[in-house]
A and B are shown apart, each in its own frame.
Chain A
Amino acid sequence: MRLIPRYILWAGVIVLALTFLLLNSGLDFTYVIPKRLGRLAAMVIGGVCIAWSSIMFQTITGNRILTPAIMGYEAVYLLLQSLLVMAMGAQSLVILGANGNFSLSVLLMLAYSWAIHRWLFRNGRQNVYFLLLMGLVLTMVISTFTQFAQFSVSPGEFSVLLSFSQPSFGRAKPEQLIISCILVATVWLSIRKNLPMLDVLSLGRDQAISLGVNYQRSVQRYLALIAVLVAVSTSLLGPTAFMGIFVANTTYALTRSFRHRITLPMGCAIAISIFIVAQLAVEHIFNYRTTVGILVNLVCGAWFLMLMVRTRAGA
Chain B
Amino acid sequence: MISVNNLSKTYGTKPVLSNVTVAFPSSRLTSLIGPNGAGKTTLLMMLARLLEPSSGSILLDGRETSSIKLSNYAKRVATLRQSPDFNLRLTVEELVAFGRFPYSRGMLTADDQHAINEAISFLTLDSLRGAYLDEISGGQRQMAFLAMTIAQQTEYLLLDEPLNNLDIKHAVQIMRALRRLCDEQGRTVILVVHDINFAANYSDHIVAMKDGTVHCIGAVPEIVSEQKLQQLYDLAFKVIHDKQGYLCNYFTTSGEQE
Interface of A with B (CB < 8 Å)? 62, 64, 124, 194-197, 199-200, 202-207, 209-214, 252, 256, 258, 314-315
Contacts and interface: CB of A to CB of B under 8 A. Distances in A.
B88 A211 contact: no
A194 B71 CA distance: 14
Contact of A212 (B85, B89, B102): B102
B86 A212 contact: no
Interface residues of B, number: 31
A314 B79 contact: no
B49 interface: yes
Interface string B62-75: 00000000111111
B105 A209 contact: no
B81 interface: yes
Given A196-B101, A212-B74, A314 B87 contact: yes
Interface in B70-114: 70-75, 78-81, 84-90, 94, 98-99, 101-102, 105-107
B135 to A, nearest CB: 14
A57 to B, nearest CB: 16
B98 A195 contact: no
Contacts of A204: 84, 86
Given A196-B106, A210-B74, A212-B73, A315 B101 contact: no
Nearest to B102: A212
Interface string B148-163: 0100100000000000
A211 B101 contact: yes
Nearest to B149: A210
A210 B50 CA distance: 8
B181 to A, nearest CB: 16
23 contacts: A196-B105, A199-B98, A199-B106, A203-B88, A206-B79, A207-B81, A209-B50, A209-B79, A210-B78, A210-B80, A210-B152, A211-B98, A211-B99, A211-B101, A212-B71, A212-B72, A212-B75, A212-B102, A213-B74, A213-B101, A258-B89, A314-B85, A314-B87
Given A211-B152, A315-B87, A203 B98 contact: yes
Interface of B: 48-50, 52, 70-75, 78-81, 84-90, 94, 98-99, 101-102, 105-107, 149, 152
A60 B84 CA distance: 15
Contact of A209 (B48, B88, B94, B106): B48
A314 B49 CA distance: 27
Please indicate which of the listed interface residues A64, A205, A212 has the most CB atoms of chain B within 10 Å of its own CB.
Answer: A212
B199 to A, nearest CB: 23
Please indicate which of the listed interface residues A197, A207, A213 has the most CB atoms of chain B within 10 Å of its own CB.
Answer: A207
A206 B145 CA distance: 13
Contacts of B81: 206-207
Contact of B71 (A62, A195, A213): A213
Nearest to A200: B101
A6 to B, nearest CB: 17
A314 B87 CA distance: 7
Contacts of A314: 85, 87
A36 to B, nearest CB: 39
A252 B80 CA distance: 27
Contacts of A194: 105
Nearest to A198: B106
Given A203-B98, A212-B70, A258-B89, 18 more contacts: A62-B86, A195-B106, A196-B105, A196-B106, A197-B105, A200-B101, A202-B88, A204-B84, A206-B48, A206-B79, A206-B81, A209-B50, A209-B70, A210-B48, A210-B80, A314-B85, A315-B86, A315-B87
